[in-house]
Structure 1
Amino acid sequence: MHAAAIVAAAGSGSRLGADLPKALVPLAGRPLVCRAVDALLDGGVAEVVVVVPPAQRAEFEAALPAGVVVVDGGATRTASVRAGLAAVGPAATAVLVHDAARPLTPPAVIARVLDALAAGAPAVVPVLPVVDTTVLVDADGLVTDTVPRAPLRRVQTPQGFDRATLEAAYAGLEADAELTDDAAVVRRAGVPVATVAGDDLCAKVTVAHDLTLAELVLRAGDAREPVW
């Protein structure tokens, strides 16, 4: 199996309080996107396409290692993944879609996704159990019910797909549709989505607090006992 990865890196850094794209924000001296790409390559991906804000394309090309393909993103995440999918090389039979904002994702998670695809799953996502009590609230903010936690999972990335399956799902997706992740795209097309174990280190960097926690993890030098 020849696997390619698309890294979604076109988001702004506004919620981080940064004046540059979030994927270029440094974590312990290296941009988030570079750490995400390294993990994908270490986990067994053969090629990487990074989808970036067009105005900062030169900065991404300067930061990323040789061999990584850089393409302009669209106005939405769905449009950006479409652009990345169009740039994947012809040899790829599997495609992973990953968030640049998950810089500490262990290569073992990526390997688990690839193993599930190699075993025949058309689509697979890494997940973690929901550990907090989860409730439903009404329009006034009052709790109306408690949701059973046992069947609930938190979905992470990279999400993996048989290439033909993902391409067909995107081809059939309405032009103005904007879904939260790529598993939702294939599920809309009727494709079953398998799961593998995720990892707390796959946590997404969204606000400044997340970046501080990620720096603490790296400073501690312990990749199996995250502090968040």
Structure 2
Amino acid sequence: MQNIDEPAVALVVAAGSGTRLGGPVPKALVEIGGRPLVRWSVDALAAGGCDRAVVVVAAELIDDFRVALAEASIPVELVVGGSRRQDSVAHGLAAVGEQGIVLVHDAARPFVPAQVVQAVRRAVGSGAVCAIPVLPVVDSIRRVGTEGSVVVDRSELAAVQTPQGFDIATLRSCHLRAAELGLEVTDDAAVCEAAGHPVTLVPGAREAMKVTEPFDIVVATAIAAARVASGSEGPVAVDLNKEKQ
């Protein structure tokens, strides 16, 4: 069992191109409130108890990320990613160490509150092999097929967020197994689940939204402004109408 208060290493995945967002630079380098998204993400993880970060980036952008993270609140090591997300995580795991807790986080979720990071870290510290933050699904959901659509019971669904926390040695072995079997998975919890490990759920937060499309920049700008004004790393009240004026 890990120590419940043991610090964690942050593994931040920032090697994607972010094509749906558009713009001249990859999503993780887009500036919101005077800071790139990846810097917001690293600082948020530091506020939740991470004492260093490994950030996985595209090879041609190492210098850009070095500048973006020069004033991060914890030490940062840059690692070149792979062609798929799970390959990038595997590359990052080679740099995080052999033992302890790792929190795998998408750079595109810049405003995860410190208490969510802490909840994930403490779940792993208390013995969970894998812990992930989730939110109830609030929209009505329909499964669409070639012959029409059908309503899905949303009470049985949950939206998955990051950071996802793991015992480092276990996550590394699960990634090796997935590579050997040729498995393709959407997140790291699925890598562990495919190896037979249970997934522990902790409460997520609406503020830990993923910046994916141009509209998300409007919301993220409002959150950043409220964070700067309050000096807070936790949830803040946001007036979106004010940001649009």
- TM-score range with shorter-chain normalisation? over 0.9
Q: Give SS of 1:49's match.
A: strand
Instruction: Give, in whole Å, the separation in 1 of the partners of 2:226 and 2:113.
Output: 16
- State the match for 2:162 in structure 1: 157
- State the match for 1:110 in structure 2: 117
Instruction: Give, in whole Å, the separation in 1 of the partners of 2:239 and 2:116.
Output: 18
Q: Is the 8 A contact 1:201 1:226 kept in 2?
A: no
- State the match for 1:125 in structure 2: 132
Residue 163 of structure 2 aligns to which amino acid in structure 1?
Answer: P
Out of 93-102 and 166-175, give the one that drifted further. 166-175
CA RMSD of aligned residues (A): 1.7
Residue from 200, 212, 222 that aligns with 1:216:
222
- State the match for 2:141 in structure 1: 134
Q: Is the 8 A contact 1:213 1:227 kept in 2?
A: no
How far is the alpha carbon of 1:138 from its aligned partner? 1.7
Instruction: Give, in whole Å, the separation in 2 of the partners of 1:20 and 1:135.
Output: 35
Instruction: Give, in whole Å, the separation in 2 of the partners of 1:129 and 1:209.
Output: 22
When the two structures are superposed, what TM-score results if normalisation uses the length of structure 1?
0.93
Residue from 46, 60, 74 that aligns with 1:41:
46
Instruction: Give, in whole Å, the separation in 1 of the partners of 2:18 and 2:128.
Output: 35
How far is the alpha carbon of 1:211 from its aligned partner? 1.0
How far is the alpha carbon of 1:227 from its aligned partner? 6.0
Instruction: Give, in whole Å, the separation in 1 of the partners of 2:239 and 2:208.
Output: 12
How far is the alpha carbon of 1:28 from its aligned partner? 1.2
Residue from 9, 27, 30 that aligns with 2:32:
27
Residue 23 of structure 1 aligns to which amino acid in structure 2?
Answer: A
Consecutive aligned runs of 4 or more in structure 1 exceeding 6 Å deviation = none
How far is the alpha carbon of 1:185 from its aligned partner? 0.3
How far is the alpha carbon of 1:119 from its aligned partner? 1.1
Q: Give SS of 1:127's match.
A: strand
Residue 142 of structure 2 aligns to which amino acid in structure 1?
Answer: V
- State the match for 1:146 in structure 2: 151
Residue from 201, 204, 212 that aligns with 2:207:
201
Question: Taking structure 1 as reference, are residues 166 and 225 closer, same or farther at Cα in structure 2, changes over 3 Å only?
Answer: same
Residue from 78, 88, 101 that aligns with 2:108:
101
- State the match for 1:3 in structure 2: 8
How far is the alpha carbon of 1:151 from its aligned partner? 1.9
How far is the alpha carbon of 1:25 from its aligned partner? 0.5
Residue from 77, 83, 94 that aligns with 1:69:
77
Residue 61 of structure 1 aligns to which amino acid in structure 2?
Answer: R
Instruction: Give, in whole Å, the separation in 1 of the partners of 2:35 and 2:151.
Output: 42
- State the match for 1:85 in structure 2: 93
Q: Is the 8 A contact 2:17 2:26 kept in 1?
A: yes
Residue 97 of structure 1 aligns to which amino acid in structure 2?
Answer: V
Instruction: Give, in whole Å, the separation in 1 of the partners of 2:46 and 2:222.
Output: 24
Residue 115 of structure 2 aligns to which amino acid in structure 1?
Answer: A
Q: Does 1:168 align with 2:147?
A: no
Question: Taking structure 1 as reference, are residues 126 and 88 closer, same or farther at Cα in structure 2, changes over 3 Å only?
Answer: same
How far is the alpha carbon of 1:96 from its aligned partner? 0.8
Unaligned runs of 5+ in 1: none
Q: Is the 8 A contact 1:76 1:178 kept in 2?
A: no
